[in-house]
Amino acid sequence: MSNLFQQLLRSNFRCGRMLNSRALDLAGWIGMSSTHFVVI
């Protein structure tokens, strides 16, 4: 039972990290776009 729980935790952590990095990428992209708009 604890082994299954550990596996679930690990997969959840990996998914969370993937989502976090994607959110950071999106934030960076929005930041770049806003700076481009400011330049224009």
What's the pLDDT tens digit per position in 4-40? 888 888 888 887 888 888 888 888 888 877 776 666 5
pLDDT for res 24: 86
Amino acid at 10: R
Sign for the CA dihedral angle at 21, 27, 28, 29 comes to: positive
Enter the tokens of residue 11: 């997969």
The span from the CA of 35 to the CA of 40, in Å, is 9
Q: CA of 33: how far to CAs of 2, 4, 8, in Å?
A: 46, 43, 37
What pLDDT score was predicted for residue 1?
Answer: 64
Which pTM value belongs to this model? 0.48
